[in-house]
Amino acid sequence: MTTNIGKIYQVAVPVPLRRCFDYSSDLDIATGTRVLVPFGQRNLVGVVLSRSTTSSVDKIRPIGDVLDNGIATSVRIQALLRWASQYYHHPIGEVISAALPVLLRQPLGMPTPKFIEMYSISPSATSVDALEIATQLRAAPSQTKLFKLIQTQGKLSVDQLNSSFPGWRPAMKQLVRKELVIKEELLQLPVVDQPAAAKVSLTEEQQHAATGIINSLGGFRSFVLQGITGSGKTEVYLEAAKQCIAQGKQVLFLVPEISLTPQLVGRVRAQLGPSVYAMHSGMTDKERYQSWWMAKEGYATAILGTRSAVFTWLKDPGLIVVDEEHDQSYKQQDGFRYHARDLAIKRASMEDIPVVLGSATPSLESLHNIKNKRHVPLQLTHRVGKAKLPAIEIVDTTRYPLENGVSSPVLNEIGVAVERGEQVIVYINRRGYAPVVHCYECGWQAACQQCSARLTYHHHRKQFRCHHCGYRERLSENCPQCDTPLYFAGAGTQRVEQALLGKFPTARFCRLDRDQANTTRKLYQQLEAIQNRQVDIIVGTQLITKGHDFPGVSLVCVINADQGLFSADFRAPEFMFQQLLQVAGRAGRAEDNGKVLLQTAHPANPYIRMLTKHDYPAFAQANMEERQHAGYPPVGYFALLRSESTDLHAASNMLQNTAAIASDLIRNHNLSHVEVFSPVPSPMEKLAGRFRMQLLVRSPVRKQLHELLAPLALEMENQKAPRSVRWSIDVDPIDMG
Ligand code: ADP
Ligand code: ZN
Ligand code: ZN
């Protein structure tokens, strides 16, 4: 019990409840400060969001610990997060927590990043001749040894020294004293020196686009930079970024996860200087914290990051760039389901700075917003230099049968390209060997027991795997029921690679999929091998499609162009078009001999025809008309309520009740535009042993949708659903499954 309740603070606590909690303290605590608070039986890390003198709560518990002597989130970031919490109808405590660096979600103080000690030969010693140094070190064998080590290795960190020269400190001390070695303290390991960027002069189109952005620095405006693949969008961002930095402001540069390669970091640093910090999932929590710290302190001129970097607190932001803005990886698919592009736009408007959304194939949302004058369009219509867009040709698979997924025209063209010493990409959006395995004799099918999904056969380990829950099983290649040899249908990356290996035994292969490139490091190594022309034929999934610049690739073969044509998901054609134009864009970047082959069983399909002409605008218009007709986004607004449980009835009941409550709310609040559908099983009905249901709510008027969701979310929270039931709200869902 507290006798003197002192000051009362509203604290955002990471629990699934849509409210803040009151705590007391005698101290003056600034909003944005992290505090440790008792919650039930636990202590949780919360963030103070406001302060009051009264509370409606009787027994106010005291704040346990104030974790920082500074704030962990700025007032402007707090405003953004509050807005996001309301827009996505997600608990504020979880939103705030998700936006903090992982390190700060723990009940520890905010560390000042540790500087890394690095040792290198001092510039003065490099000019002294070897004999003189030898004289200086004559009586000191370990100093000599250490000096030689640094000479051969260049810069060495404490970690490296500890492992290669145990007990190095005394000798090093002497070397530093003799001014033969210098000690530096760096916040991050130095980047490998990049060859200085060749100075490009922007084309007229690029200059025009960059000027448009530069002229609006200092105020909010949202641009869509639509430029075909290889048209030099990155140079436009960088030109605008340079101006922004020259005005003393910082740049937030968002890219999809797999585009954030060391090459890109190098390219950006080469132009914007060394104070560009990266933030992506391949970094450790500590490294990401360091970048975050550099940004908030104002030392970072730019942050180059993936989805969650949109929340990075920048001391003085001046420009936000969202590259490949159509990319689905900007949408968080679980927990706090935000869209980083949409939040970037909101953030830019709150910070009163410009935002640039770049893409060769802008999302229909962004095109819609150009049409209704929310975004300003900027166009790049030509490829830079001599390169032209590759010709896209169709291979009709009803005429040319497939063998292991590959047709004879594709084989021929690969042969020609490899013969000429050019690189080839074979694109297939499916990993493993065969996605369908069954027995013709008794009808047995390889299916996952835990999911409503088939098992994919993986050749190398002779394993059947579920790509949804991770289940693995070793089976023989004969039917487990009747021992007949099984039939392997369809083709994944492994099968295509194996088939091509048989045809081109001397070619150098690289398979790029989540099985092979299962860590960021391995992915980078493979991308580097491709760039260095150590590979002739690349068989890959969409890992290969994003923004990479492979000048050696002249031919791209798409194994199955039809995947998105007949899907139940209304966004499938858009994703198909975007993905295929992206992968096609990898061809012919250096010269004008690029070619793309599309294997399709539907050569007359209008979307396929538009693809061969690279006609994204025509596609977008046609697809938009379909959506307009059906009231689908971006014309209408969707929210998807999901529930899941090991007990199908529990999951279903939860949404049945929710639908009934929603109908009442609609009636009582006069939300006549909002439409509530019936709960239905999700397209993937069972996942990892849990049954999944979903309920679609939609409205042509966005405001009404949110007027329903706000009270509905609280009702869902209060429902006494069994513990096994998990539920969520997905506003502007991208994945309808
Ligand atoms: P996009 O992002 O539009 O696909 P990039 O910005 O990656 O295109 O540019 C493609 C290639 O063209 C890169 O290698 C880049 O260095 C080069 N490039 C871009 N602009 C110019 C320019 N004005 N002059 C010369 N080369 C350029
Ligand atoms: Zn059988
Ligand atoms: Zn499964």
In this predicted model, what pLDDT tens digit does every residue of 683-737 receive, in sequence order? 999 999 999 999 999 999 999 999 999 999 999 999 888 889 999 999 999 998 7
Beta-carbon contacts of 440 under 8 Å, excluding residues fewer than 6 positions away, are 484, 487
In this structure, is residue 59 part of a structural domain? Answer: yes
Strand 456-458 to 463-465 pairing: antiparallel
pLDDT tens digits for range 430-477 = 999 999 999 999 999 999 999 999 999 998 888 999 999 999 998 888
Find the ligand nearest to 382 CA: 1
Look at ligand 1, atom 19, and give the residue with the nearest C-alpha: 232
In this structure, is residue 692 part of a structural domain? Answer: yes
Identify whether residues 495 and 527 lie together within a single domain.
Answer: yes
Q: Which helix (H) or strand (E) holds 680?
A: strand 680-687
| Closest CA relative to residue 63, chosen from 54, 51, 78, 72 | 51
Please report, for the domain that includes residue 561, its CATH number: 3.40.50.300
Q: Which helix (H) or strand (E) holds 340?
A: helix 340-351
In this structure, is residue 153 part of a structural domain? Answer: yes
Query: Which atom of ligand 1 is found nearest the CA of 387?
Result: 12
CA of 227 to the centre of ligand 1 (A): 11
Confidence (pLDDT) at 464: 94
In this structure, is residue 320 part of a structural domain? Answer: yes
Look at ligand 1, atom 14, and give the residue with the nearest C-alpha: 549
Identify whether residues 159 and 80 lie together within a single domain.
Answer: no
Task: List the beta bridge partners of residue 359.
Answer: 226
Query: Which atom of ligand 1 is found nearest the CA of 197?
Result: 16
Identify whether residues 256 and 396 lie together within a single domain.
Answer: no
Last residue of a domain, one of 608, 628, 648: 628
Distance from C-alpha of 507 to C-alpha of 510, rounded to nearest angstrom: 10
Dig out the tokens for 144 from the structure. Answer: 């000599």
Identify whether residues 650 and 502 lie together within a single domain.
Answer: no
pLDDT tens digits for range 70-97 = 899 999 999 999 999 999 999 999 999 9
Contacts of 339-344 with CB under 8 Å at 24 or more apart are: 339/732, 339/734, 340/254, 340/307, 340/308, 340/309, 340/310, 341/254, 342/732, 343/80, 343/84, 343/310, 343/311, 344/252, 344/254, 344/310, 344/320
In this structure, is residue 480 part of a structural domain? Answer: no
Query: Which atom of ligand 1 is found nearest the CA of 203?
Result: 23
CA of 210 to the centre of ligand 2 (A): 63
Site to probe by mutation for ligand 1, drawn from 253, 549, 581 as the one with most ligand atoms within 8 Å of Cβ, is: 549
Give the angle subtended at the CA of 582 by the CAs of 578 and 583, to the nearest 5°.
120
Query: Which atom of ligand 1 is found nearest the CA of 360?
Result: 3
Distance from C-alpha of 622 to C-alpha of 617, rounded to nearest angstrom: 9
**Torsion 540-545-549-554 (CA) sign:** positive
Confidence (pLDDT) at 547: 59
| C-beta of residue 305 within 8 angstroms of C-beta of residue 265 | no
CA of 623 to the centre of ligand 2 (A): 43
Beta-carbon contacts of 213 under 8 Å, excluding residues fewer than 6 positions away, are 223, 236, 240, 319, 354, 356, 378
Residue 541 has φ and ψ, to the nearest 5°, of -90, -160
Distance from C-alpha of 576 to C-alpha of 558, rounded to nearest angstrom: 11
Query: Which atom of ligand 1 is found nearest the CA of 227?
Result: 3
Site to probe by mutation for ligand 1, drawn from 201, 204, 226, 235 as the one with most ligand atoms within 8 Å of Cβ, is: 235
Name residue, tokens 């994944």.
Answer: 492
Strand 391-396 to 595-600 pairing: parallel
Confidence (pLDDT) at 2: 43
Distance from C-alpha of 512 to C-alpha of 504, rounded to nearest angstrom: 18
Identify whether residues 169 and 272 lie together within a single domain.
Answer: no
CA of 383 to the centre of ligand 1 (A): 8
Last residue of a domain, one of 187, 214, 249: 187
Ligand 1 contact via 231 beta carbon (within 6 Å): yes
| C-beta of residue 577 within 8 angstroms of C-beta of residue 616 | yes
**DSSP label at residue 454:** B
For 533-636, strand residue ranges (E) read 537-540, 553-558, 595-600
Ligand 1 contact via 234 beta carbon (within 6 Å): yes
Ligand 1 contact via 206 beta carbon (within 6 Å): yes
The per-residue pLDDT of the chain, averaged, comes to 92
Ligand 1 contact via 230 beta carbon (within 6 Å): yes
Find the ligand nearest to 485 CA: 2
Name residue, tokens 């923004």.
Answer: 547
Beta-carbon contacts of 194 under 8 Å, excluding residues fewer than 6 positions away, are 266, 267, 269, 270
Helix or strand or coil: residue 427?
strand
The structural domain count of the chain equals 5
Distance from C-alpha of 611 to C-alpha of 22, rounded to nearest angstrom: 57
In this structure, is residue 445 part of a structural domain? Answer: no
> Residue 476's CB: how many other CB atoms inside 10 A?
10
**DSSP label at residue 203:** P
Assign residue 325 a region: left if phi > 0, alpha if psi is -120 to 50, beta otherwise? Answer: alpha
Identify whether residues 146 and 234 lie together within a single domain.
Answer: no
| Closest CA relative to residue 184, chosen from 125, 116, 127 | 116
Ligand 1 contact via 384 beta carbon (within 6 Å): yes
Beta-carbon contacts of 652 under 8 Å, excluding residues fewer than 6 positions away, are 643, 679, 691, 693
Ligand 1 contact via 396 beta carbon (within 6 Å): no
Angstrom distances, CA of residue 280 to CA of 337, 545, 550: 18, 19, 22
In this structure, is residue 642 part of a structural domain? Answer: yes
Find the ligand nearest to 236 CA: 1
Within the chain, which residues score under 70 in pLDDT? 1-5, 114-115, 186-198, 547, 590-592
**DSSP label at residue 569:** S
Find the ligand nearest to 470 CA: 3
| C-beta of residue 697 within 8 angstroms of C-beta of residue 673 | no
Look at ligand 1, atom 23, and give the residue with the nearest C-alpha: 202
Site to probe by mutation for ligand 1, drawn from 204, 228, 231, 234 as the one with most ligand atoms within 8 Å of Cβ, is: 234
In this structure, is residue 3 part of a structural domain? Answer: no
Ligand 1 contact via 232 beta carbon (within 6 Å): yes
Confidence (pLDDT) at 628: 95
pTM of this structure = 0.89
Beta-carbon contacts of 609 under 8 Å, excluding residues fewer than 6 positions away, are none
Ligand 1 contact via 590 beta carbon (within 6 Å): no
Find the ligand nearest to 475 CA: 2
pLDDT tens digits for range 535-583 = 999 999 988 877 577 889 999 999 999 988 888 899 999 999 999 999 9
| C-beta of residue 14 within 8 angstroms of C-beta of residue 99 | no
Alpha helices in 352-428 (DSSP H): 364-371, 408-419
Look at ligand 1, atom 25, and give the residue with the nearest C-alpha: 200
Look at ligand 1, atom 4, and give the residue with the nearest C-alpha: 230
> Residue 112's CB: how many other CB atoms inside 10 A?
8
CA of 477 to the centre of ligand 2 (A): 11
Identify whether residues 563 and 691 lie together within a single domain.
Answer: no
Ligand 1 contact via 229 beta carbon (within 6 Å): yes
Find the ligand nearest to 476 CA: 2
Ligand 1 contact via 256 beta carbon (within 6 Å): no
Confidence (pLDDT) at 195: 54
Identify whether residues 361 and 243 lie together within a single domain.
Answer: yes
Identify whether residues 268 and 314 lie together within a single domain.
Answer: yes
Last residue of a domain, one of 348, 380, 412: 380
Ligand 1 contact via 679 beta carbon (within 6 Å): no
Distance from C-alpha of 474 to C-alpha of 457, rounded to nearest angstrom: 10
Identify whether residues 254 and 325 lie together within a single domain.
Answer: yes
| C-beta of residue 537 within 8 angstroms of C-beta of residue 506 | no
Domain that holds residue 424: 391-433+491-628
Ligand 1 contact via 582 beta carbon (within 6 Å): no
Site to probe by mutation for ligand 1, drawn from 325, 378, 384, 545 as the one with most ligand atoms within 8 Å of Cβ, is: 384
CA of 326 to the centre of ligand 3 (A): 29
Identify whether residues 165 and 77 lie together within a single domain.
Answer: no
Identify whether residues 324 and 242 lie together within a single domain.
Answer: yes
Find the ligand nearest to 689 CA: 3
